[in-house]
Amino acid sequence: MHPLGRRIADVLELQPDATAIEYDGRWSTWREVTALVEHIRALEVGQRQVGILLRNKPAHVAAFLGVLLFTVLMISREGMETALLLMQLRETLDLAIGAAAGALGAAGFALLWSRYGHRVNLSLFFQVTAIFLFVFVIQLVVRGVHEMSEQAMLPYSAYLHDMTESWGPDSTFGHLLTYLLVLLPLAWLTLKSAFFTRPITVPRMPERVDSTVPQGSPAR
């Protein structure tokens, strides 16, 4: 089995009886999801293409469009940010040093995640990141409305601009949102670790032996 597939299998086996997916009023456990994964893998599709059928239901269409629009938005946003950053790097050495330090930090974090990420309580991880993103979206909306109203791109721009003028990043409200980006996720993490029995991290899973490869045979 490929190392990535083995890691995914290890994650699926962490809490096999925990609820995973709700559909049509019924919850399926991770054990049932794993059974379906093994069934699909047993089909030995090889290099053939595998498709997903989306029914003409509003939920399916909304999920597909949501993922598509989010992907397009993120790719466009990251591309523009990269282009603007490269333009600024030509003018100052400090930005170049900061960009190099950020790239090294991201590489280090990616290395740590690849080695120890499978031990993280994913449910709690997504809860913490959801709280962070919620506060970040509020901050983004406030600043976006203020900047767009300043350019007269919204109805009642003058009124909206005056209302959000005191909510800028240097205001008390702006500082509060900045602090909440750290304090709220940290508070939730502390609360969950203090009053809930499920650990933040899970013990390392023992290495699994692929039963399809005979013992003593050379690795490919």
Asked whether residue 197 falls in the same domain as residue 131, the answer is yes
N- to C-terminal Cα distance for the chain?
11
Show the tokens assigned to 56: 């003409």
What residues contact 7, with CB distance under 8 A and at least 6 apart?
118
pLDDT band per the 50, 70, 90 thresholds, residue 95? confident
Tally of domains in the chain: 3
Asked whether residue 162 falls in the same domain as residue 177, the answer is yes
Task: Locate all alpha helices (DSSP H) within 117-156, ordered by sequence.
Answer: 122-150
Q: Answer yes or no: is pLDDT of 209 > 60.
A: no
| Residue 138: predicted pLDDT | 87
What residues contact 64, with CB distance under 8 A and at least 6 apart?
54
Phi, then psi, of 48 in degrees rounded to 5: -70, 155
CA distance 3 to 115: 11
| Residue 217: predicted pLDDT | 47
Phi, then psi, of 85 in degrees rounded to 5: -65, -45
Collapse the DSSP code of 111 into the 3-class scheme (helix H, G, I; strand E, B; otherwise coil) and give the result. Answer: helix
Given 82, 98, 119, which residue is the final one in a domain?
Answer: 119
Given 75, 100, 119, which residue is the final one in a domain?
Answer: 119
Give pLDDT tens digits for 150-206.
Answer: 777 878 888 887 877 777 777 788 888 889 989 999 999 888 878 766 555 555 555
Asked whether residue 178 falls in the same domain as residue 103, the answer is no
- Which domain, by its residues, includes 29? 1-50
CA distance 188 to 96: 36
| Residue 14: predicted pLDDT | 77
| Residue 202: predicted pLDDT | 54
Asked whether residue 137 falls in the same domain as residue 194, the answer is yes
Given 14, 31, 50, which residue is the final one in a domain?
Answer: 50
Q: Answer yes or no: is pLDDT of 50 > 80.
A: no
Q: Answer yes or no: is pLDDT of 47 > 90.
A: no
> pLDDT averaged over the chain?
75
Q: Answer yes or no: is pLDDT of 127 > 60.
A: yes
Asked whether residue 140 falls in the same domain as residue 197, the answer is yes
Asked whether residue 63 falls in the same domain as residue 84, the answer is yes
pLDDT band per the 50, 70, 90 thresholds, residue 2? low
